[in-house]
Structure 1
Amino acid sequence: MRVAITGGSGFVGRHLAERLDPAETVIVSRRTGVEIDDVDALAAAFEGCDAVAHCAGINREIGEQTFQRVHVEGTRAVVEAAQRAGVKRIVMLSFLRARPGTGSAYHETKWAAEELIRSSGLDHTILKSGMIYGPGDHMIDHVTKAVRTWPVFGTVGYTEKKVRPIPVHDAVGVLLAALDGRIPDPTVAVMGAEELELGAAVRRIAGVAGRRPLYVPLPVWAIKALAQLTEWVMVTPLVAKAQARMLAEGVNESAPFAPEPPAGIRPSSLFTEDLIRAALPAGRFGLQDLRLARR
């Protein structure tokens, strides 16, 4: 089976590509010279492919890379290009709580993208995925660097929200099953096997990183303000505004409801110290992480 991966240079896309036959895999990204809303370039890339894994997405807006352009116009272009190229199947990686009427551009554009896939007429699977972690992620990477850099760590809100972290190898396993047509439902919720409070997840990561910071609960508005500040000043923000909204809601159940994949396909790995350790980055935050230092 020949597969094209949009966002193939990104976190999940890279890990998916590693599990596929390189001779039968087409990486589609800005790094390979293809813009996500360029229908002609996408159609040329999709030529001869049996399926498209649509993993392209952003968690913050930078210049022309807006949620509307990447999530909505990009998905519209992917659908048209797939139809032109004769692709039979699309698998889209979405977000667990993508839905309309939230006031969050991230959530709403991800939902709009889902709707474009549903109305495409193409065989499809939409994976409403929760928090994915692994080597090269943002979750463990940023928590680890933060606790290595500062003695105080702010947690979200005074009421603990819950998460179900998914190791990237489990998430890729679900993607592969969807590409193979082994998931009967057109939309499924992809969540980790272990549910725990966000603070407990952070403490587990910090413990593996050898740190014991002082944890301070912060109101949601403070986390959102921190997100705005770090989007302004950091190359990759400590926390993006969309991520602050996710954490404030919790990331442990789909909205709207979607069933989980069948047993044997759904993620089964716990949030273990070994898996966390495998994803730990080197170093801490420094001047190299500031936008000013890159100019």
Structure 2
Amino acid sequence: MVASTVTVFGGTGFLGRRIVSTLLEAGHAVRVATRNPERGNPAWADRVEPITADVRDPAAVARAVEGADAVVNAVALYVEAPGLDFESVHVEGARNVAEAAQVQDERKLIHISGIGASESSPSAYVRARARGEHAVREACGNAVILQPGVLFGPNDSFVSTLTAVTRLPLVPLFGWGETRLHPVHVDDVASAVRRAIEYPATAGRTFELGGAGTYRYREILVQVLAATGRRRLLVPVPFAVWHLLAAMAACLPSPPLTRDQVLLMRQDNVVGLGAAGFAELGITPRDFAATLSECLR
């Protein structure tokens, strides 16, 4: 392996921080390009180059990747807000990064998307992810696209939200809780980014990244209850009720539930049969149940 300079967009986010740490441990020089560089890990202070850049600004993106050997786009927007929407971040932003990366022929681009990205999805978020992948492929055919499942790990939002929900006297389910998920540990995805950068054979490929096991939503809640020592009744709630709650919450400044989140819980989110994944990258992913206690500390 030859050490390189890597620009990581979104390097202060949950996944971005782990990517930066993994690359530093591997001996790479890292630039953290984000709208708020001050949110980076203090432990990086003298080890990374912070750059203020918004993926929606082509000029700033071009400056951030200048001279870099590889580029990682780990920017994620899960809930739209005033001035921030899925289209500008996941489609136009993704295109800006890909076009800037393509300027240098030998430069590697790693684009983080998500399992199940589809332009026919009823979810605006999922459709934007799919259009973003298409924009990246158009601008940079050799880009590596990584599609992780729902991320979990220490200080995540997934397990922490479920932990909060299981404090309720009655725990509501989305429908009957039968939706299948493929939780993937954040550090395994960070390792996949490193391999995608270092392995020449990954160029131009798409990898779906799921953990060692798939779980129904109900099973995940049971795991969390067992790990926290709680006993609660799981109560099925029709999706029509969830959609109504999301519509009512839409008027709030920071809604706790959105229509897209409800739509995402109506369909399975698992690695497709025969899809390239961790095995092709030489990584054995962790299992959600086996590492749950680590997330609850």
| Superposition TM-score tier, normalisation by shorter sequence | 0.7 to 0.9
Q: Report how far residue 240 of structure 1 moved.
A: 4.0
The corresponding residue for 2:41 is: none
How big is each residue's C-alpha offset from its partner over 1:45-96, in whole Å with a ceiling of 9 and x where there is no partner?
Answer: 1112111111101111011110011101111111222234666111111110
Distance across 2 between alignment mates of 1:242 and 1:265: 34
Rate the CA distance shift 1:265–1:182 in 2: closer, same or farther, 3 A.
farther
Query: What is the TM-score normalised by the length of structure 2?
Result: 0.84
Distance across 2 between alignment mates of 1:74 and 1:262: 30
Report SS of the residue matched to 1:119: helix
The corresponding residue for 2:48 is: none
How big is each residue's C-alpha offset from its partner over 1:174-224, in whole Å with a ceiling of 9 and x where there is no partner?
Answer: 111111135546112111111221111111112212322221111222223
Residue 27 in structure 1 maps to residue 11 in structure 2: no
Which piece of structure 1 moves more, 239-248 or 33-42?
239-248
The corresponding residue for 1:180 is: 198
Paired residues of 1:5 and 1:53 also in contact (CA < 8 A) = yes
Match for 1:188: what amino acid? F
Residue 265 in structure 1 maps to residue 270 in structure 2: no
Residue 292 of structure 2, aligned match among 230, 251, 276: 276
Paired residues of 1:52 and 1:87 also in contact (CA < 8 A) = no
Distance across 2 between alignment mates of 1:183 and 1:126: 13
The corresponding residue for 1:245 is: 263
Match for 1:155: what amino acid? L
Q: Report how far residue 122 of structure 1 moved.
A: 4.6
Give aligned pairs, total. Answer: 277
Distance across 1 between alignment mates of 2:216 and 2:66: 45
Which piece of structure 1 moves more, 133-142 or 208-217?
208-217
Match for 2:85: what amino acid? T
Q: Report how far residue 117 of structure 1 moved.
A: 1.4
Pairs within 5 Å for 1:98-247: 98-148=117-167, 150-158=168-176, 160-181=178-199, 184=202, 186-230=205-249, 232-233=251-252, 235=254, 237=256, 239-247=257-265
Paired residues of 1:183 and 1:261 also in contact (CA < 8 A) = no
Distance across 1 between alignment mates of 2:117 and 2:91: 13
Paired residues of 1:72 and 1:112 also in contact (CA < 8 A) = yes
Paired residues of 1:59 and 1:240 also in contact (CA < 8 A) = no
Distance across 2 between alignment mates of 1:174 and 1:23: 15
Query: What is the TM-score normalised by the length of structure 1?
Result: 0.85
Distance across 2 between alignment mates of 1:226 and 1:258: 36
Distance across 2 between alignment mates of 1:141 and 1:191: 19
Match for 1:7: what amino acid? G
Distance across 2 between alignment mates of 1:211 and 1:165: 22
Paired residues of 2:95 and 2:139 also in contact (CA < 8 A) = no
The corresponding residue for 2:40 is: none
Rate the CA distance shift 1:118–1:70 in 2: closer, same or farther, 3 A.
same
Paired residues of 1:170 and 1:269 also in contact (CA < 8 A) = yes
Rate the CA distance shift 1:234–1:151 in 2: closer, same or farther, 3 A.
farther
Report SS of the residue matched to 1:123: coil
Residue 74 of structure 1, aligned match among 66, 74, 93: 93
Q: Report how far residue 229 of structure 1 moved.
A: 4.6
Distance across 1 between alignment mates of 2:158 and 2:253: 16
Paired residues of 2:99 and 2:140 also in contact (CA < 8 A) = no
**Identical positions, percent:** 25
Q: Report how far residue 264 of structure 1 moved.
A: 5.8
Which piece of structure 1 moves more, 59-68 or 78-87?
78-87
Q: Report how far residue 231 of structure 1 moved.
A: 5.6
Q: Report how far residue 235 of structure 1 moved.
A: 4.3
Distance across 2 between alignment mates of 1:72 and 1:236: 23
